[in-house]
Amino acid sequence: MIQGIGASFGIAIGKAFVLPNWEWDLPEQKIDVADLAREFDRLYEGIRTSKVEIEQMKDELREVVGTEESYIFDAHLAILEDPVFMNEIQGIIQRQYKAAEVAVKEAIDHFVTMFDLLDDEYMKERALDIKDVGNRLLKHLLGAPEITLPADTQPFILVAKELSPSQLAHLNPKHVLGIATLAGSTTSHSSIMARALGIPLVVGLESKLEDAIQTGDYLILDGASGIVHLEPDTELTKHYSELHALQKEATQRLKGIIDIKPMTKDGKEMELAANISSLKELDVALSSGTNGVGLFRTEFLYMDRHRLPQEEEQFEVYRSVADKLEGRPLIIRTLDIGGDKQLDYFELPEEENPFLGYRAIRICLDKTDLFKTQLRAILRASCHGKVKIMYPLISSIDEVRAANALLNEAKQELTEAGHRFQEDIEVGVMIELPAAVMIADLLAEEVDFFSIGTNDLVQFTLAVDRMNDQISHMYEPFHPAVLRMLKQTVEAAKRAGIHIGVCGEMAGDLRALPIWLALDVDELSMSSNAILPIKERLLRLKQEDSRSTFDELLACRTSKEIHEVLARGYDSRSASTNALA
């Protein structure tokens, strides 16, 4: 057994194909002064061809995984236009009389070594980008064929030292059962793409794999635990085959209820929506029969890139999501960075308490251009579906009014520019701070809907950092204080007659379903794989029974008592489907 890092969920069982590293046969002799111009011509021609090829790959990838993943190749195009990289290559040709390909190889090595030495994951990823794009350029200069994958259609597990985004882009997910790489991190471009393509991936196997695996070896790869088994015995193969089959079977069984309306036995309808952060995730959501998107975490559009996304790029993504939803509601949450979500190119200050610091709506109300760019993009997409805007981390009426004033400015700017948008677009807030709960009655008069962000609400109500392992046992969604917060919020929304949803992890927790039914919330938004298990349970419950359960819950003095009450109405069949989800 070899332990790596699980970077993309799923089990793969099959034969290995070990991808050889690109090795180059470079000319050793120096060039004549008279040939300098020819070398520069060859270099520029190679750059032109590489750019065309990258643009083509970007287009292909956009078809497969969506616009935002395809922007990965913008980083590659930027390298080919980077004056520092280019000056280095030109300098080697001009001053050392070396052939274009030798100069390119030396420049790649120079920058890769430099970035690798830095103790910074982001720079290490950039080193990978330089290597990838540099190898493409070398390939054109040398006329070397690209390493090809096996042409036959027998699916395989790909084993590589490292896998570049452009290599991944060429893969057909139907032929690749899984991927194992020596290098890599879960946040690399390649890992993001593997997840988006649904290919199980284990990274960080380092020296453990070197030379150990040959093409044709039999492997089992578990993308959840990060484990790779080399030449497993029959017992292990049987175990994983069964696990694989169970996963498929559970998914298949639940598919049977996709078209059934989410409604309890006594007629309470509940919208079951999806939380997404990319277009590919939307495809998974649609295949789970989602009623819409209750939370589009847009910050992921801003992450893993070199600069802020422009209005046009954002508009394209929002519009594609709206188009694909075909009229189903789409709640787009405005930028929620800060805390654990940092942008490499956006210098956020070092803070003692980043979760209580400069983040989310606070940044947006400060950097108004950044905020209005996003608002304009969302507004423009509003003509393509039932788009709504949601502000995160709201703690006061002032913030809502300030955000709405900027929204009005954005509308004005669009009108002047001749763009169409939904003038009466719905605006809502996340209720995820105790302050927002306490003024929920006032907030309800200012907005069209609420969505309860239980992840942060639990964290802030209990003062338990949601990222801190040491106190994770204290992170208790089923705490009497949290129950009271939820009740107060929903009652305020109901009194004001506004739509009320839940989009934190509790929305997809089977145990919490009676609470939502008793409170009569309108919508639960969750990760796509929880939608069908929640629906299956909803179909078997009665809202009436949930109300008496909730009365019992309110009388509980401790979390333990709450868990005991909820466990009584919770059968193990549902629990197993949730575990597999």
Partner whose binding site includes residue 262, from ligand PEP, Mg ion, none (CB under 5 to 8 Å by kind): none
Question: Which lies closer to ligand PEP via its Cβ, residue 393 or residue 566?
Answer: 393
Q: Which is nearer to ligand PEP, 251 or 455 (CB)?
A: 455
Q: What does 504 bind: Mg ion, ligand PEP, none (CB cut-off 5 to 8 Å by kind)?
A: ligand PEP
Q: Which residue has its beta carbon closest to Mg ion? A: 456
Residue from 189, 384, 479, 499 carrying the catalytic annotation = 189
User: By C-beta, is 68 or 432 nearer to ligand PEP?
Assistant: 432
Q: Contact between 456 and Mg ion (CB under 5 A)?
A: yes
Out of ligand PEP, Mg ion, none, which partner does residue 512 contact, by CB within 5 to 8 A per kind?
none
In this chain, which of 165, 309, 453, 508 binds Mg ion, going by CB under 5 A? Answer: 453
Q: Is the Cβ of residue 4 or residue 453 nearer to ligand PEP in the bound state?
A: 453
Closest separation between CB of residue 117 and Mg ion, Å?
Answer: 37
10 makes contact with Mg ion (CB under 5 A): no
Q: Looking at beta carbons only, is 149 or 365 nearer to ligand PEP?
A: 365
Q: In angstroms, rounded to a whole number, what is the distance separating the alpha carbons of residues 455 and 463?
A: 12
Q: What is the dihedral of CA 67, 68, 73, 79, to 10 degrees?
A: 140
Quote the DSSP letter at residue 199: -
Nearest-5° angle of CA 302, CA 275, CA 185? 50
Interacting partner of 329 out of Mg ion, ligand PEP, none (Cβ under 5 to 8 A depending on kind): none
Active site residue 189: yes
Select from ligand PEP, Mg ion, none the partner in contact with residue 69, using the beta carbon and a kind-dependent cut-off of 5 to 8 Å.
none
Point out which span in 291-299, 304-312, 456-464, 565-573 binds Mg ion (CB under 5 A).
Answer: 456-464
In sequence order, the 6+-apart residues with CB closer than 8 A to the CB of 428 are 331, 388, 389, 390, 391, 447, 448, 449, 450, 451, 498, 499
Measured distance CA(393)–CA(334) in Å, rounded: 10
Alpha carbon distances (Å) from 481 to 355, 556, 568: 21, 11, 21
Q: Which of residues 420-449 bind Mg ion (CB under 5 A)?
A: 432
Say how many residues touch Mg ion, by CB under 5 A: 3
Nearer to Mg ion, 432 or 509 (CB): 432
- Minimum distance between the CB of residue 438 and Mg ion, rounded to whole angstroms? 18
Closest approach, Cβ 210 to ligand PEP, in A, equals 39
Beta-sheet strand order (sheet of 11-18): 2-3, 227-230, 218-222, 11-18, 156-160, 176-181, 201-203, 5-8
Q: Least Å distance between CB 15 and Mg ion?
A: 44
Which of ligand PEP, Mg ion, none does 297 bind, CB closer than 5 to 8 A by kind?
Answer: ligand PEP
Interatomic CA distance for residues 378 and 428, integer angstroms: 14
Pick the piece of the chain touching Mg ion (CB under 5 A) from 123-131, 180-188, 243-251, 455-463. Answer: 455-463
CA nearest to 390, candidates 485, 501, 513, 531: 501
CB of 207 to ligand PEP, least distance (A): 37
Site for Mg ion in 126-155 (CB under 5 A): none
Of 437, 494, 429, the C-alpha closest to 461 is 437
Candidates 76, 479, 499, 503; catalytic one: 503
For the bound state, the minimum distance from the C-beta of residue 485 to ligand PEP, rounded and expressed in Å, comes to: 12
Name residues whose C-beta falls within 8 Å of residue 186's C-beta, 6 or more positions apart in sequence. 5, 6, 7, 203
Q: Which one of Mg ion, ligand PEP, none is in contact with 316 (Cβ closer than 5 to 8 A by kind)?
A: none
Q: Closest separation between CB of residue 504 and ligand PEP, Å?
A: 3
Q: What sign for the dihedral angle of Cα 399, 405, 408, 409?
A: negative
The residues binding ligand PEP (CB under 6 A) are 295, 297, 336, 432, 453-456, 503-504
Those residues with Cβ within 8 angstroms of residue 490's Cβ, 6 or more apart along the chain or in another chain: 452, 500, 519, 520, 521
Residue 556 a catalytic site member: no
Name, in order, each residue with C-beta under 8 angstroms of 509's C-beta and a sequence gap of 6 or more.
Answer: 477, 578
Calculated CA dihedral for residues 244, 249, 254, 256, nearest 10 degrees: 140
Q: Which of 47, 133, 51 is nearest to 39 (CA)?
A: 47
Q: Which does 454 bind (CB under 5 to 8 A by kind): Mg ion, ligand PEP, none?
A: ligand PEP
| DSSP run (H or E) holding 293 | strand 293-297
SS3 182: coil
Q: Letter for the amino acid at 550? A: F
> Whole-number minimum distance, CB 394 to Mg ion, in Å?
11
Q: Give the residue with the Cβ less far from ligand PEP, 484 or 573.
A: 484
Would you name the residues annotated as active-site residues?
Answer: 189, 503
- Residues at the contact surface with Mg ion, assessed by CB under 5 A: 432, 453, 456
